[in-house]
Amino acid sequence: MFIISGSSPKQQDLGEQRAPCPDCQQETSQRLQRHYRVIHVFWFPLFSLGTKYVRICGRCNLHTEVPEQQVGPVPVAPLLHRMGGLFPVAALAFCCVGFPLVNAVVSLGTGDSSGSSQQQEQQAGRQGFDQRFEAQAEDLAVETTIQSAFEEQGHQSVTVSASSASVKEHVIRVVSAQTPRLKKVSDGDRIRMLEMMEAEADKRFANDEVFLGLRGKLLWGGYSHRAPGGKWKRVVDGTTSSPMVDAFEALLQREAALPPSAPDAVPTPEPTAAPSVVDDTAR
C-alpha cells in the first residue's frame, strides 16, 4: 500500500499596519502576512508547522520577519490547516465506538416490542404449542423440499421446520426458516425467501391455513399468512409477529368457536299399565 504524504507552503494576509521601514527610514504602510507549512497525507491537511510573520513595506516591498509577540491580535489560521488531523481520527473513533453505541441504543428502543414477542411465544409454548402442533408426514415432506431449495440458493445456514394442528376439518400449519445471519439478509432476499415458501405451501396445502416465518437468532424478521383459499399477507421488517404465536391463537379461536357438545340423551321410560282393581261389591 502506497501512502502519499508531504507538505506545502501557505500564506495568509492579516491586514495592514503602519510600522517603521528599515530601508525607507520612515513609517510606512505595511502588509502583514502569516507564512507556514501544512503537512498532508493524500493531500488531506493534518497540521501546520514553521509559522512565522512577515511585514511587507508598501513603498519599497521590503520583507521583514516580525516576532510573534509584536504581531498583536490577528485572525487565526484555517481550522483544517491547524487541526485537520482530528477529522480522520474522529471518523475512526466513531466507526469503532459510535456505531456500537448507536446499535445498542436502537436495540434498547426495539427491545420492548421484541421482548413482548418473545414473551408471547414463550407463553404460547407454555400453554401447549409444542404439544398441539406436531410434524406430520406432509410437514416433513415440505420441510425437506424447502430446506433443499434454500441450500441451492446458497442459504447454507438456514434450518427449516414445519408442524401442524387441526380443529375438525380445519388444518393450521406453521413453516419457519431460522438462520443466525438473518440481520445480514436484505429485505429483497427475505421477500424472495418468503415467496418460495408461499409457492410450496400453495402447492401442497391449498386448503389449509398456513403461517410462515423467517427467524434470526432470537427475533422474527419475516412473516406471511394465508387463510384457506385466500391471498398471502406478507410483512418484512426488523421485527415481525411470531407465526407460532399467531397460529396457536388461531387454533384456540377455532376451538372456542365450536358449538358445545350436547349431553347424552336420557331414555324416556315407557309408560306402565295401571294395576287392575277388582270390585268385590258386585259379588
267 or 72, higher pLDDT:
72
Radius of gyration, alpha carbons of the chain: 42
Over 70: is that where the pLDDT of 166 sits?
A: yes
Over 60: is that where the pLDDT of 110 sits?
A: no
Residue 214 pairs in a beta bridge with 177, 222
279 or 237, higher pLDDT:
237
Which pLDDT does position 16 carry in this prediction?
A: 87
Convert the pLDDT of each residue in 212-270 to its tens digit: 999 998 889 999 999 998 999 999 988 888 898 889 889 989 888 888 764 443 444 55
Which pLDDT does position 87 carry in this prediction?
A: 77
3 or 127, higher pLDDT:
3
- Phi and psi angles of residue 23, each rounded to the nearest 5 degrees, phi first: -85, -45
Which pLDDT does position 128 carry in this prediction?
A: 67
Percent of the chain with pLDDT over 70: 83
pLDDT band at 278 (very low <50, low <70, confident <90, very high): very low
Which pLDDT does position 221 carry in this prediction?
A: 92
| Range with lowest mean pLDDT among 25-29, 120-124, 172-176 | 120-124
Q: Once rounded to an integer, what is the mean pLDDT over residues 113-141? A: 71
Which pLDDT does position 123 carry in this prediction?
A: 61
80 or 219, higher pLDDT:
219
Convert the pLDDT of each residue in 173-202 to its tens digit: 999 999 998 988 899 999 999 999 999 999
- Residue in 281, 278, 174 with CA at minimum distance from that of residue 223: 174
Over 50: is that where the pLDDT of 283 sits?
A: no
Which pLDDT does position 41 carry in this prediction?
A: 82
pLDDT band at 119 (very low <50, low <70, confident <90, very high): low
Q: CA-based angle 17:18:23, to the nearest 5?
A: 115
